[in-house]
Amino acid sequence: MMLSESIWTDIALPAFPTLEQDKDCDVLIIGGGMCGLLCAHYLKEAGADCIVCEAGRIANQTTIRTTASLSMGQDTLYSDIARSPSHGIGDAGLYMRANRAALDEYKKLCTSIDCDFEERDLLFEIPDTKKFKRECKTLLEIGADVSPIAGRQILRYPKQAQFHPMKLLAGIVPGLTIYENTRILHIDGTTATTGKHRIHAKKIIVATHFPLQKWKGLFFLKLYQKRAYVLALEGISDPGYHYYNVDTDGVSIRMQGRFLLLCGGDHRTGKEGGGFDRLMDYRADHFPRSIVYRSWATQDTQSLDGLPYIGQITRSDSDNFVAAGFGGWGMTGSMHAALILRELVQGRSHELAALFDPSRSMLTGQLALNAGETLLTFLNPIPRRCTHMGCALRWNPRECSWDCACHGSRFDKAGGILNNPAQHGFKM
């Protein structure tokens, strides 16, 4: 399966200049994807003087490869939160309300921007009976607006949503101060440097998918990355709903105009997984007469407990903030980050700050898995190493890339950066 551009490239966002001189501002936002641009939009509305710096073109990494679904149904996360010793049933309810608020805010924002916003029910299948019963029990306890479908292990979430991400961004970027092809290489306090120029800010938000700080906040232990794959299929009737299957090799389905977006095949970056083969098998079984219009891959950062990291990068640093670890729910998480950071950056509180605190407990099983993966790659004698922290790289023949299983950096065959946290490439 050959990779192609996503379907979102039908809309071209305006180009912005490269930073050519030192600057001062109230808030510097590093990262020009959906998260960073929404942060800039809401902070500008609040009266803050913001600058956005993007290493390449805005929205040209994770955002342009999204399926742009807005969903309160997220794996079995509510029961996972309720059972966690670090959270509990109260946090599960808070997260449900937060997701509903994010969807409502998108709906409000999209009333003034023509971006194909549309509400649809989500059919959410949990094949494992034990997990299904556990999730149902948790959702009932927190009063979620969701109902099981009789005789099936499927939950119906009403009024979930979808939109065209580039059309939305085309409506909010005019008037924002943005510098493209401007890679931030170092942060010292609230001064960021590109190598040639400096930006002096009062506050900094790092929204670079995987935080660029190597040691501060210990994100090299808190995050790992997963690849997922998308087929845009033609020739299929609109089912009228979204569908998501939480199995390890499960898939999600939604319509966008004449295309059915089939997503799945997830695996840890640098490891083997279902990939496009899983999607092509599903297509053959369920949509045999469809035509593959486009195919692309995306990459998501995964936190230790399934919840994003949004807030102060450390509890002792009140001037530097971070937004990362959205999992496969980056559009919803981006809105969480924008609304929370709008308040925190201005010195105000937010009811979700504790839930998403980047300094919350790290004691989860995923921490041991992340540490073990890092140790194994360090011991691997492969000579090609990642420029982030020296982990062994694995050649990915399907995407013609060098991939790091530790933290998800990816490089093209010539050594150029495809995905962070690596900040620079390597010579072949």
CA-based torsion, 415, 417, 422, 425: positive or negative:
positive
Query: What local confidence, expressed as pLDDT, does residue 247 receive?
Result: 83
Strands (E), 153-272: 154-162, 178-179, 186-188, 191-193, 198-206, 224-234, 242-245, 251-256, 259-268
Cα(298)–Cα(43) distance, rounded to whole angstroms?
A: 28
CATH number given to 365-419: 2.102.10.10
- Residue labelled with tokens 């970027």: 173
Query: What local confidence, expressed as pLDDT, does residue 214 receive?
Result: 83
Query: What local confidence, expressed as pLDDT, does residue 213 receive?
Result: 87
Query: What local confidence, expressed as pLDDT, does residue 76 receive?
Result: 93
Residue 424 vs residues 392, 405, 411, 416: alpha-carbon distances, Å: 16, 17, 9, 7
Query: What local confidence, expressed as pLDDT, does residue 104 receive?
Result: 97
Per cent of the chain over pLDDT 90 is 83
Look at strands 224-234 and 191-193 and give their pairing: unpaired
Query: What local confidence, expressed as pLDDT, does residue 365 receive?
Result: 80
Which of these, 117, 89, 94, 123, lies nearest to 104 by C-alpha position?
A: 117
Query: What local confidence, expressed as pLDDT, does residue 123 receive?
Result: 96
CATH architecture of structural domain 7-66+167-220+306-345: 3-Layer(bba) Sandwich (3.50)
Query: What local confidence, expressed as pLDDT, does residue 379 receive?
Result: 67
Query: What local confidence, expressed as pLDDT, does residue 300 receive?
Result: 95
Low-confidence ranges of the chain (pLDDT < 50): none
Query: What local confidence, expressed as pLDDT, does residue 378 receive?
Result: 66
pTM: 0.95
**CA-based R_g, the chain, Å:** 21
For the beta carbon of residue 173, count every other beta carbon within 10 angstroms.
19
- Quickly list DSSP for 250-303: -EEEEEETTEEEEEEEEEETTS---HHHHHHHHHHHH-TT-EEEEEEEEEEEE-
Residue 114's SS3 state is coil
**Residue-wise pLDDT tens digits, 56-76:** 999 999 999 999 999 999 989
Residue 166's SS3 state is helix
Query: What local confidence, expressed as pLDDT, does residue 249 receive?
Result: 76
Q: For the chain, what are the domain ranges?
A: 7-66+167-220+306-345, 365-419
Cα(392)–Cα(378) distance, rounded to whole angstroms?
A: 6
Burial class (CB in 10 A: 0-12, 13-18, 19+), 364: middle
**Residue-wise pLDDT tens digits, 74-85:** 989 999 999 999
